[in-house]
Amino acid sequence: MRTKLKSRKELEELQKKLHRKLDTGKTRISICNGTACRPYGSNPVAESFKSEIAKQGLEDKVDFKVTGCHGFCEKGPIAIIEPGNIFYQKIKVDDVPEIIQKSVLNKEVISKLLFKEQSTGKEITAQNELPFYKNQTRIILGNNLLIDPTEIEDYIATGGYAALAKALFELQPDKLIGIVKQSGLRGRGGAGFSTGTKWESCRKAHGDIKYVIVNADEGDPGAYANEGLLTGNPHSVLEGLIIGAYAIGAHQGFIYVRNEYPLALKNMTIAMEQAEKHGLLGDNILGSGFDFHVRINRGGGAFVCGESTALMASLEGKVGEPRAKYIHTVERGLWDRPSNLNNVETWANIPLIVNNGPEWFSKIGSPGNSGTKIFSLTGKVNNTGLVEVPMGIKLRDIIFSIGGGIRGNKKFKAVQTGGPSGGCLPEKLLDSPVDFDELTKAGSMMGSGGMIVMDEDNCMVDIARYFLTFLEEESCGKCVPCREGIKRMRQVLNDITEGKGRESDIELLGEISVHLKESSLCQLGSSAPNPVLTTIQYFRSEYESHIKNKKCPAGVCKALIQFSIIDEKCPGCGMCVKTCPSNAITFMGKKKPVILDQSKCIKCRTCYDICRMGAVSIE
């Protein structure tokens, strides 16, 4: 049972002791059991490893760790074996005994579990050599591999909480704020405001009681970068928060986690309990005299609560309605007191900056955009997952070098960044550097890190309609422009996708957009037009096709497409007949093409997806 650490020295001694324990010559297996790997069955695989190791009595030979997100979510369940940095993917429960037998006991590599390069089929053994990983700069996420998020000592062993000790015992708050300012760190939640400047304003604000808040309400659909960090390395966020509290002079903190992230909630709760037991949180942290307590709050299923004033309203027990920010929240925020709110990833950067110095940090990334950014790269790419790259890297490099290009050899069409507040960027912008300023120039924004890749089979008008439908449901409903404006835009887009579009619709969408941008109460409303405006700007021809020709070139909008059987290709196997939910297809006998009754067809795509002969076409 760990006793409280009462001084910096005690922490350092513990860290040394734990670090020594790592160099034991044992084989280390690290298996990912993050949220994104669970649908692949990572939990049973992890359990299987545990029981197999116990069964064979190998606890003294094997150091087995269940960790959070490794990043390469596409290939889950994944495991890394050291020594050798062996990367195994798509592991099944049945593979476990073989892995123990061959790779752990006999140091052999199992070919079928290795990653194979897309184009050449070449097998790659070492995780660091995988194109997915070698083009990243994993200064934050990299540690996930070494840490069981439910064991604080893992975090301490890697040097965790040393930054906190340095801050508390070596740096005065003003100096600490200066360091953060100098590093050039900008808010990772999307707005990209200078973190150091924000801290400074909060510190200077009038009032004795101040608050620090972690915004973990990552609501952008398709973004789970914060989730991977919170679940995999909650202490990195906690440590950053405590350092920030010390710098600002706050003694109470809040972590607001989305209701839809049960694992993140669980792991952060455990982390807080353990930190408190170790004297790293609570009263008299590490004997420094600094008190700081944290409370976790769960979201209630409202995207708008990612907006800082709405989040604070929710913390106060009210509905998540934003309010005007003419007076900043750093002056009057939670309960009208100075409050500093930052995103999960922003907080996680702080220990790195304190440990390595602002110059080190500012050298990573691009001018005015220091450091790295974690993206959830998803959609139609081969290698989906959480990627961490230096600011300024080209979109093309993320999507093709790391992402491995478009799956199924389809053609790239667009990439959506910034969630519903961002925009869709076309092929001609693929060489744009990814940073706050460049993305904004292109009409999109960084957002919290969602990066969704689309191909020729995605309809951009449908995508715009999708985002507006989402925002309409998530709007708090307080202000007229957002509540009524998004509704009207969504209606127009519905009409367009149903073949009822009018010539004047594009202009109308533009006019409502300007109004929303200028008159909305909060950013939900003012950035709602972005998906519409960018798709009109870069994919106008698709809109015109829907409106003028009543056609959906990508074959998505149901009212504008028709499924039909290509007689020459149909072998009469009857697969589609069996699976058609509306009995619209009639079996005509073997080797005879089936007949599709248009009047019964509900355009569900089941036949198209199931036919192995490519005998169903969409027009």
Partner 1 sequence: MKDRVSAIIKKYGKDESQLVSILQDIQAEYNFLPRVELDKLSKRMDIPQSQIYSLATFFKAFSLKPRGKHIINVCLGTACHVRGTELILESLERQLKINRGETTEDRNFTLETVNCMGCCATGPVVKIDDEYYGQMSNDKVEPMLKKY
Partner 2 sequence: MSEKVSLTINGNKYTTQKGQYVLQVARENGIEIPTLCNHEAIEPYGACRLCIVEATHGTRTRIVTSCLYPVEEGLVVQTNSPRIIKNRKMLLNLLLARCSENKVIKDLAAEYGIVKPPFREEYWEKNDCIVCGLCVRACEQVVGVSAISLVNRGIHKEPAPPYLKRAKACIGCGSCFYVCPTGAVKMEDKNGVRHIYNWNVNFKLKKCSVCGIQWAPEAQLEYIRKKWDLPVDFFETCPNCK
Interacting residue ranges for partner 2, rule: CB under 8 A: 302, 304, 319, 323-324, 326-327, 472-481, 483-485, 487-488, 491-492, 495, 504, 508, 511-512, 514-515, 518-521
Selection from partner 1, partner 2, none that 22 binds (CB < 5 to 8 A by kind) is: none
Instruction: Compute the distance between CA of residue 85 and CA of residue 385 in angstroms, rounded to an integer.
Output: 19
Q: How far is the CB of 548 from partner 2 (least distance, A)?
A: 18
With a CB cutoff of 8 Å and minimum separation 6, the contacts of 476 are 302, 304, 310, 319, 320, 321, 322, 482, 524
Residue from 52, 74, 153, 200 binding partner 1 (CB under 8 A): 74
Residue 104 is a binding residue for partner 1 (CB under 8 A): no
Note whether 572 and 587 are within 8 A (CB).
yes
Q: How far is the CB of 475 from partner 2 (least distance, A)?
A: 4
Query: What is the SS3 string spanning 535-589?
Result: HHHHCHHHHHHHHHCCCCCCCCCHHHCCEEECHHHCCCCCHHHHHCCCCCEECCC
For residues 177 and 557, which CB has a smaller minimum distance to partner 1 in the complex? 557
Alpha-carbon distance values, 83 to 73, 125, 146 (Å): 22, 12, 13
Q: How far is the CB of 331 from partner 1 (least distance, A)?
A: 20
Helix (H, G, I), strand (E, B) or coil at 441: helix
Instruction: Compute the distance between CA of residue 337 and CA of residue 343 in angstroms, rounded to an integer.
Output: 19
Note whether 390 and 378 are within 8 A (CB).
no
Instruction: Compute the distance between CA of residue 399 and CA of residue 415 in angstroms, rounded to an integer.
Output: 9
Q: Segment 567-596, which members bind partner 1 (CB under 8 A)?
A: 579, 581
With a CB cutoff of 8 Å and minimum separation 6, the contacts of 307 are 320, 322, 522, 523, 524
Burial of 280 (0-12, 13-18, 19+ CB in 10 A): buried
Nearest to 470 by CA among 484, 486, 452, 457: 486
Q: How far is the CB of 24 from partner 2 (least distance, A)?
A: 55
Q: How far is the CB of 333 from partner 1 (least distance, A)?
A: 14
Q: Segment 14-43, which members bind partner 1 (CB under 8 A)?
A: 35-36, 38-40
Selection from partner 2, partner 1, none that 488 binds (CB < 5 to 8 A by kind) is: partner 2
Residue 88 is a binding residue for partner 1 (CB under 8 A): no
For residues 327 and 566, which CB has a smaller minimum distance to partner 2 in the complex? 327
Residue 379 backbone phi and psi in degrees, to 5: 100, -135
Q: How far is the CB of 517 from partner 2 (least distance, A)?
A: 9
Residue from 32, 62, 68, 76 binding partner 1 (CB under 8 A): 76
Nearest to 12 by CA among 159, 215, 190, 177: 159
Selection from partner 2, partner 1, none that 609 binds (CB < 5 to 8 A by kind) is: partner 1
Selection from partner 2, partner 1, none that 237 binds (CB < 5 to 8 A by kind) is: none
CA dihedral 389→395→401→402, nearest 10 degrees, is 40
Residue from 222, 357, 392, 433 binding partner 1 (CB under 8 A): 222
Q: How far is the CB of 221 from partner 2 (least distance, A)?
A: 16
Residue from 68, 184, 192, 219 binding partner 1 (CB under 8 A): 219
Other beta carbons within 10 angstroms of residue 561's beta carbon come to 18
**Residue located via tokens 């109460």:** 521
Which amino acid, one-letter code, is at 73? C
Residue from 155, 161, 246, 303 binding partner 1 (CB under 8 A): 303
Residue 301 is a binding residue for partner 1 (CB under 8 A): yes
Instruction: Compute the distance between CA of residue 341 and CA of residue 344 in angstroms, rounded to an integer.
Output: 10
Burial of 520 (0-12, 13-18, 19+ CB in 10 A): buried
Binding region for partner 1 (CB under 8 A) out of 101-109, 294-302, 501-509, 532-540 = 294-302
Q: How far is the CB of 308 from partner 1 (least distance, A)?
A: 17
Q: How far is the CB of 408 from partner 1 (least distance, A)?
A: 12
Q: How far is the CB of 463 from partner 2 (least distance, A)?
A: 21
Nearest-5° angle of CA 550, CA 555, CA 561?
Answer: 55
Q: Segment 441-500, which members bind partner 1 (CB under 8 A)?
A: 450, 452, 454, 458, 463, 466-467, 470, 474, 476
Selection from partner 1, partner 2, none that 518 binds (CB < 5 to 8 A by kind) is: partner 2
One character per residue 107-136, x = contact with partner 1 (rule: CB under 8 A): ------------------------------
Residue from 83, 207, 300, 614 binding partner 1 (CB under 8 A): 300
With a CB cutoff of 8 Å and minimum separation 6, the contacts of 68 are 32, 33, 34, 144, 147, 149, 228, 231, 232, 233, 267
Which amino acid, one-letter code, is at 292? F
Residue 322 is a binding residue for partner 1 (CB under 8 A): no
For residues 32 and 429, which CB has a smaller minimum distance to partner 1 in the complex? 32
Residue from 606, 611, 615, 616 binding partner 1 (CB under 8 A): 606
Instruction: Compute the distance between CA of residue 469 and CA of residue 489 in angstroms, rounded to an integer.
Output: 9
One character per residue 504-543, x = contact with partner 1 (rule: CB under 8 A): ----------------------------------------
For residues 435 and 474, which CB has a smaller minimum distance to partner 2 in the complex? 474
One character per residue 357-376, x = contact with partner 1 (rule: CB under 8 A): -------------------x
Instruction: Compute the distance between CA of residue 510 and CA of residue 443 in angstroms, rounded to an integer.
Output: 14
Note whether 256 and 384 are within 8 A (CB).
no
Selection from partner 1, partner 2, none that 378 binds (CB < 5 to 8 A by kind) is: partner 1
Query: What is the SS3 string spanning 333-365?
Result: CHHHCCEEEEEHHHHHHHHHHHHHCHHHHHHCE
Residue from 87, 261, 292, 538 binding partner 1 (CB under 8 A): 261
Note whether 226 and 447 are within 8 A (CB).
no
Strand-strand pairing, 79-82 and 115-116 = unpaired
What does the binding site for partner 1 look like in residue numbers (CB under 8 A)? 35-36, 38-40, 73-74, 76, 218-224, 227-228, 259-261, 297-303, 314-320, 376, 378-380, 384-385, 416, 419, 450, 452, 454, 458, 463, 466-467, 470, 474, 476, 579, 581, 604-606, 609-610
